[in-house]
Amino acid sequence: MKIVSKTSAQFLFAVALGAGALTAVQLRGTEALAYPAYFTSNCAGCHAAPVAATCNGCHHHGPVSLKGATNKTSYAPGETVSVTISGGSQSGWVRAILYDQSNKQVAISNGNESGMGHSTTFPATLSAPAPTVPGTYTWKAAWFGNSYDSGNPTASAHGEVSVNTNSFTVVAPADTTVPVVSAFTLPATSTSLTVAVSSFTATDNVGVTGYLITTSATAPAASATGWTATAPTSVAAVAGSNTFYAWAKDAAGNVSLSKSASVTVTLPDTTVPVVSAFTLPATATNLTVAVSSFTATDNVGVTGYLITTSATAPAASTTGWTATAPTSVTAVAGNNTFYAWAKDAAGNVSLAKSASVTVTLPDTTVPVVSAFTLPATSTSLTVAVSSFTATDNVGVTGYLITTSATAPAASATGWTATAPTSVTAVAGNNTFYAWAKDAAGNVSLAKSASVTVTLPDTTVPVVSAFTLPATATSLTVAVSSFTATDNVGVTGYLITTSATAPAASATGWTATAPTSVTAVAGNNTFYAWAKDAAGNVSLAKSASVTVTLPDTTVPVVSAFTLPATATSLTVAVSSFTATDNVGVTGYLITTSATAPAASATGWTATAPTSVTAVAGNNTFYAWAKDAAGNVSLAKSASVTVTLPDATAPVVSAFTLPATSTSLTVAVSSFTATDNVGVTGYLITMSATAPAASATGWTATAPTSVTAVAGNNTFYAWAKDAAGNVSLSKSASVTVTLPDATVPVVSAFTLPATSTSLTVAVSSFTATDNVGVTGYLITMSATAPAASATGWTATAPTSVTAAAAGNVTFYAWAKDATGNVSLSKSASVSITVAPANLTLTISALANGSYTNKGTLNISGTATDAAGIKSITVNGQAVTVNPDGSFSYALSLKSGANTVTVIATDNAGTQKTDTRTITYDPTAPVLTVSAPADNSTTTQSFITLNGTINETSTVKVSVNGGSPQSAVISGTSYSATVYLVNGVNTITISATDLAGNSTTAKRTVTFSGGSSNLALAITFPNQDITTKYPYLVLTGKVVDSEKVTVKIMMDGKSYAPEVDDGVFKQRLVFTTPKLYAITVIATDEAGNRSTVVRNVIFRPDYDHNDD
């Protein structure tokens, strides 16, 4: 008998019957025949009725007692394990199989498999290598042969008898041999902080299990963080010289000696210099104007300085740059504005700093005094000027009248901006000279005029003597002396208590000097005056007297109150009043009930408005005194001061384990302190401080937190009885839940045929008990590793074949644990037409100017061979399945070269190059509608926007003849007619000075293919922003219900569509370009896609949005 065929479920034999005849005998299944001598009713369930044959016991079913025993109980890794299989009295059998701990077949019998009852007999021995990983194992021995099985005859294990062997242990020998790093090299230099490792290999007597690169020559521990299972392919360096050390370790924890390599990193310089100061004098009288200040800084060093009269940034190669800052500029007469620039060795040119100067050239023409007259006579020393006029070729800036015929200097004191209206003369004959000057300091010739002054009697009397006694005890005080003289004669005497001169007509004047005055108690000053018949009043002569009246009446404190309580050590006095028969002259508040002396320190002329207390109970005493030194009785008041607690608690410790396999994570430590006492503990997942009244506070520190799978950051807080909440202390934990279930690819289909090497995937879906984290399509049926390159977070929408013909692809899915699914395959027959690469760009035209720092480059590339890549200025751009693309490019001030290169799968390239000039000072042109990269179902649209100054606005479509927009104030509008497909609309604004700026809108007209239209209304074009988030808004138009899906940075959002409007808040975590794809789908399956690019730069000094 020989084996004809076998499967995992059954063996099929060919058995000799007579001379040379063959018949099929199946050991399992109802078709198998049984030997007549042994056929019973038990056989009928599995086998047909017997025929005349000599199976010789092939299917003799009898009892068997199977055993499997290893020859040892302990083995070295890989050592041969021998298992002896023994049974009962049956000798005929078909096959013995040995399975390892994973139920994998590791050995099979090689004896006669005829099963005729006289082949290999028990016991039988099978051998296989022990596992390489130390541990305790149990294998399984299986026997096929003379065993009755009443189960399903079609089952894969029908007729099999199996038994576990005894357990055995694999013990690893001690390994003390350290690995050897055989090679580790880096490039000598680099222009990036991420440096590719040229080579890193290591060997070990057992096997290298870890690789590590450090910047320290100290050997790392085998348990240190950072070891990887494969050699790192790059290192993170710093600018300048770097030395790195490569290490290897094995499973025993042996760490190799290091091998070092060095690299010098020189980073490109893209930082523009900054002009920190540039000033000019406000005015000048010379065309060569000295520069007041001009300084600039740069991260590396300023290499050039330039001052221009244009606000347009000069090229670094422009003539005129100097190694040091210019010290002067050449101006023109009138107003001048200059712009200061700086550059560095890398050719970066700074933004400008401007300064202005007004140049007025010297004036040498003297003014002319055209008229100057005075009255012939005057009775006053102040003489009115009858006329004084002057003229000058530029303008008279000063007038002066002197009594000298010598011309005054232009800088002399006394010049006035208007002609004087009077002069001061002396009694008798006077001659005055009138002069004029201009801004240049030119002084006119004089014009003179004379006046004769005759004065009336203006000589005032003189009080020659006025005295009083120094003190008095009566309010009526005798005058000691009072005499006066006058050039004509004294006609009146007067004593007042005011230093203001009395009028000659005032009441109280007496013909003779008074002999007494009436005083008040205290200090008194009196003033003596004299007058003459002309009404001239003398200057005063003063005398003082102090009147002290006897006083023995003490003052009375009529009111003194304080608030009952206070929260500050400075307590406002509610009331404090006192009275005295003569007058209160002092107030005092003490903390002692003992009366203070009138001479004690601390008395104030007014009642104090506050007292200084101590925390707790306080009693204060109020006192009053008078000028005689009488001190009142006290009035007391009390206040209790309770100071608020404003000191927040401090969380001194809060730690969590770094990793966890459970959603409930034990808190490693949580302690807090407070100046009074901690009354509450709280752990949140928000960095925002909770209110002291928030729910969740506990009297003791929590011992565990509830996390979610993945990365978690928790914040610990403490509060006190006053409601003060501490600053937080954070701790993080990564939760990885065990997952052993592999994903399932539920669908993967391709079209039967394709005319492109890039084939759209018809369907690719997969499921997983936790979640699918990766999708991959390969051309190999071998399962890829979960760490292999090429996995994507979403199912690929297309595949690319290497060549035309019949191609089979295999779809795989993986989960976060690294479980990889079985594959599902699909085939496609590819017939590729000859290459015909097209590249259509929708962007600003070559030579355009714009005041927007962010430029959108969109377009379409097509080719029968499929598009391999599209780059913009060397940066790879995502290409949609229909060949369309959209990219945001940051512009620098000045001319920018934009190069778009499309490459098909055959290697053919097509290039579009254009120059766009970014001028931040150009007219400000905004486009309100339509939004960039929008779709519409209308063959015409209304375009509108604003301009910041008087300009003409032209609009053209797809490079056609421009049409003038309608201008209304600072707004413009135009009706634009579209062609079917992609339309590039160019809007140009030109101001009165000829400065121009340009904007672009790309609008796709569906041409009746569907009623679905989509637009992103904010931002309505690609932008650069410094803000870490924005709310994206958009609008859809369709006769049916529309759903919207937004994708950014690997995340997907499904905002609600309300009356055709949707919005979604998007967060930017790291500075980079974010491509935001919005897909609208209606109930009929029509789709419209718009891409908006946002560049997040926290250091951006202005926002496009």
Per-residue pLDDT tens over the stretch 1026-1082: 888 899 998 888 767 889 999 999 999 999 998 889 999 999 999 888 989 999 898
Structure confidence at residue 158 (pLDDT): 54
> Are 8 and 102 in a shared domain?
yes
Question: Is the confidence at residue 1105, as pLDDT, over 70?
Answer: no
**pLDDT at residue 951, rounded to an integer:** 74
Q: Does 673 share its domain with 612?
A: no
CB 645 within 8 A of CB 720: yes
Q: 180 and 248 in contact (C-beta within 8 Å)?
A: yes
Q: Tell me, what's the pLDDT at 853? A: 83
pLDDT of residue 153: 53
Least confident of 6-15, 336-345, 442-451, 491-500: 6-15
With 50 as the cut, is the pLDDT of residue 121 above it?
A: yes
Based on the domain organization, do 293 and 257 belong to the same domain? no
* Residue pair 130/77 in contact by the 8 Å Cβ criterion: yes
Distance CA 206, CA 178 (A): 10
Instruction: Give the domain extent around 566.
Output: 560-641
Instruction: Please give the pLDDT value at position 145.
Output: 58
- Beta strands 848-850; 909-918: pairing state: parallel
In this prediction, residues 754-771 reach a mean pLDDT of 91
Structure tokens at 216: 């320290």
Tens digits of per-residue pLDDT, 719-760? Answer: 998 899 999 999 999 998 788 899 999 999 999 999 888 899
Q: Do 915 and 895 meet the contact criterion of CB atoms below 8 Å apart?
A: yes
Amino acid letter, residue 47: H
CA separation, residue 449 to residues 435, 436, 437 (Å): 12, 15, 19
- Angle at 44 (CA atoms; ends 38, 46), nearest 5 degrees: 100
Domain boundary among 704, 735, 766: 735
Instruction: Check pLDDT > 70 for residue 576.
Output: yes
Q: What is the pLDDT of residue 27?
A: 35
Asked whether residue 349 is domain-assigned, the answer is yes
Residue 926 belongs to a domain: no
Of 639-653, 740-754, 989-1003, the least confident: 989-1003
Q: What is the mean pLDDT of residues 504-524?
A: 94
Last residue of some domain: 827, 850, 879? 827
**The amino acid at 1070:** T
* Residue 701 domain flag: yes
692, exposed or middle or buried, with CB in 10 Å at 0-12, 13-18, 19+? middle
DSSP calls for 254-267: -BPPPEEEEEEE--
Q: Region 235-264: what's the mean pLDDT?
A: 94
Whether 125 has a pLDDT exceeding 50, the answer reads yes
- CB-CB contact of 702 with 668 (8 Å): no
The pLDDT score that the predictor gives to residue 834 is 65
pLDDT digits (tens, 9 = 90+) for 860-881: 998 877 888 999 999 999 988 8
- Per the structure, the count of domains in the chain is 8
Dihedral sign, Cα of residue 376, residue 377, residue 378, residue 381? positive
For residue 1063, tell me if it sits in a domain. Answer: no
Distance CA 265, CA 267 (A): 6
CATH of residue 332's domain is 2.60.40.10
- Is residue 27 included in any domain, yes or no? yes
* Mean per-residue pLDDT, 814-829: 93
Burial code (b: 16+ CB inside 10 Å, e: under 16) for 458-488 equals: eebbebeebebeeebeeeebebeebebebee
- State the pLDDT at residue 144: 63
The identity of residue 83, as a single letter, is: V
Q: Is residue 615 part of a domain?
A: yes
The Cα-based distances of 1011 to 857, 936, 1006, 1038, 1062 in angstroms read 27, 8, 8, 5, 18
Residue 475 lies in a domain: yes
78 and 205 in one domain? no
Q: Which helix (H) or strand (E) holds 866?
A: none
223 and 257 belong to one structural domain: yes
Q: What is the pLDDT of residue 934?
A: 82
How many C-beta atoms lie closer than 10 Å to residue 267's C-beta?
A: 14
Residue 997 reports pLDDT greater than 60: yes
Token pair of 311 as six digits: 């606000």
Question: Hey, what are 693's tokens?
Answer: 């009244």
Task: State whether residue 141 is helix, strand or coil.
Answer: strand
Percentage of the chain lying above the pLDDT 90 cut:
55
d(CA 1104, CA 407): 65
Per-residue model confidence (pLDDT) at position 3: 28
pLDDT above 50 (res 54): no
List alpha helices for 61-215, DSSP H. none
**Phi, psi (deg, nearest 5) at residue 600:** -65, 155
Name residues whose C-beta falls within 8 Å of residue 1013's C-beta, 6 or more positions apart in sequence. 934, 935, 936, 937, 938, 1006, 1036, 1037, 1038, 1088
Token duo for residue 126? 């099978």
**Up-side HSE of residue 532: CA atoms within 13 Å toward CB?**
17
DSSP assignment of 654-708, as one string? Answer: EE--SEESSSEEE-SEEEEE-SS-EEEEEEES-SSPPPTTSTT-BSS--SEEE--
The answer to whether residues 540 and 678 belong to one domain is: no
The pLDDT score that the predictor gives to residue 122 is 67
Look at the alpha carbons of 702, 704, 705, 711 in this order and tell me if their dihedral is positive or negative.
positive
Structure tokens at 979: 């062609």
pLDDT at 115 over 80: no
Residues 800 and 722 in one domain: no
Confidence band of 414 (pLDDT split at 50, 70, 90): very high
Distance between CA atoms of 125 and 138, rounded to whole angstroms? 16
The answer to whether 83 touches 162, Cβ cutoff 8 Å, is no
Among 129, 152, 170, identify where a domain stops.
170
Q: Do 579 and 444 belong to one domain?
A: no
In eight-state DSSP terms, residue 725 is B
pLDDT of residue 5: 27
The CA distance from 522 to 599, in Å, is 18
User: Does residue 473 share a domain with residue 532?
Assistant: yes
Cβ contact 359:285 at 8 Å: yes
Query: Average of pLDDT values for 175-193?
Result: 93
Q: What is the pLDDT of residues 926-943, one digit of tens each?
A: 888 888 888 887 777 888
DSSP secondary-structure letter at 38? G
Residue 586 has, within 13 A of its CA and on its CB side, a CA count of 20
pLDDT exceeds 60 at position 554: yes
**244 SS3 class:** strand
Token digits of residue 187: 């490039």
* Angle made by CA atoms 625, 626, 627, in degrees to the nearest 5: 135
How far, rounded to the nearest angstrom, does the alpha carbon of residue 793 sit from its chain's CA centroid?
A: 26
| Shared domain check, 138 and 59 | yes
Q: Per mean pLDDT, which range of 94-103, 158-167, 345-354, 718-727 is the poorest?
A: 158-167
DSSP secondary structure string for all residues of 950-966 = SEEEEEEETT---EEPE
Average pLDDT over residues 273-296: 95
Q: Are residues 205 and 333 in the same domain?
A: no
Provide the CATH number for the domain around residue 107. Answer: 2.60.40.150
For residue 1025, is it within any domain? no
> pLDDT tier at 819 (50, 70, 90 boundaries)?
very high
Question: Which candidate, 858, 892, 880, places its Cα nearest to that of 1021?
Answer: 858
Displacement of CA 542 from its chain's centroid (Å): 78
Answer with the residue of higher pLDDT: 165 or 370.
Answer: 370
**pLDDT grade, residue 19 (50/70/90)?**
very low
Least confident of 417-431, 539-553, 668-682: 539-553
> Which range among 47-61, 376-390, 450-464, 741-755 shows the weakest confidence by mean pLDDT?
47-61
Q: Does 221 lie in the same domain as 80?
A: no
Rounded Cα distance between 836 and 865, Å, is 8
* SS3 of residue 1100 by DSSP: coil
> In the structure encoding, which two tokens stand for residue 130, read together?
């022990």
Instruction: For residue 329, name the pLDDT band (cuts at 50, 70, 90).
Output: very high
The DSSP secondary structure of 758-814, one letter per residue, reads EEE-SEEEEE-SS-EEEEEEES-SSPPPTTSTT-BSS--SEEE-SSSEEEEEEEEEE
Asked whether the predicted pLDDT for residue 24 surpasses 70, the reply is no
* Residue 68: predicted pLDDT: 83
To the nearest whole number, what is the mean pLDDT of the chain? Answer: 86
Higher pLDDT, 367 or 847: 367
Instruction: Give CA–CA dist 568/543, Å, rounded.
Output: 51
In the chain the first and final C-alpha atoms are separated, in Å, by 86
Choose the weakest-confidence range: 38-52, 277-291, 457-471, 814-828.
Answer: 38-52
Residues 6+ apart with CB under 8 A from 1058: none
Residues recorded for the chain: 1105
Q: How confident is the model at residue 482 (pLDDT cuts 50, 70, 90)?
A: very high
Residues 691-700: pLDDT tens digits? 999 999 999 9
pLDDT at 505 over 90: yes
On whether the CB atoms of residues 1093 and 886 are closer than 8 A, the answer is yes
